[in-house]
Amino acid sequence: MRLYPRLSMRGVSEFEVYPANGVGAGVDGAHGMRSSGSWWAYRLPTEVLFGEGRASALGAQVTALGRCPVLVTDAVVGAQSFLRGIRSEVPSAPVFDAVEANPTVGTVDALADLLRVQGCDVVVAVGGGSVMDCAKAGCALARGPAGQSIRRYHSGGEALGPDRVPLIAVPTTSGTGSEVTPFAVLDDPEKGLKAPLSSPSLYPTVAVVDPALTYSMPLRVTASTGLDALSHAMEGYWSRQHQPFCDMLAMEAGRLVFEWFEAVCLDPFDSEGRRWMAYAATLAGAAFQIPKNAMVHACSFPLSSRFHLPHGTACAFVLDAAIRFNAPALGDRLEAFAAYCGFASVEVMAAEVRRFKRLGGLPCTLEEAGIPESALESLVAESFHPLMRNNPVEVQPEDLLRLYAGLRAEATPDPGPAAGT
Q: Helix 295-307 and helix 311-330: axis angle, to 10°?
A: 150
Beta strands in 113-205 (DSSP E): 122-127, 167-171, 183-188, 193-198
User: In CATH, what number does 9-39+217-405 get?
Assistant: 1.20.1090.10
What pLDDT is recorded for position 43?
Answer: 94
Q: Specify the pLDDT at position 32.
A: 32
CATH topology of domain 47-214: Rossmann fold (3.40.50)
| pLDDT for res 1 | 29
Q: What is the pTM of this model?
A: 0.89
Contacts of 251 (CB under 8 A, 6+ apart): 4, 7, 11, 12, 233, 237, 337, 340, 341
Under 8 Å between Cβ of 131 and 168: no
pLDDT for residue 37: 53
Whole-Å CA distances, 313 to 77, 138, 176, 289: 19, 25, 12, 20
- Cβ-count burial of 245 within 10 angstroms (0-12 exposed, 13-18 middle, 19+ buried)? middle
pLDDT averaged per 10 residues in sequence order, the chain, 421 residues? 34 33 30 49 96 95 97 96 95 96 96 96 97 98 93 95 97 97 95 93 98 97 98 98 96 98 98 98 98 97 94 97 98 98 98 98 98 97 97 98 92 44 34
Beta bridge partners of 391: none
User: What pLDDT was estimated at residue 2?
Assistant: 31
Please tell me the predicted confidence (pLDDT) of residue 411.
53
In the chain, what are the domain boundaries? 9-39+217-405, 47-214
Q: Do domains 9-39+217-405 and 47-214 have the same CATH topology?
A: no
pLDDT (0 to 100) of residue 414: 45
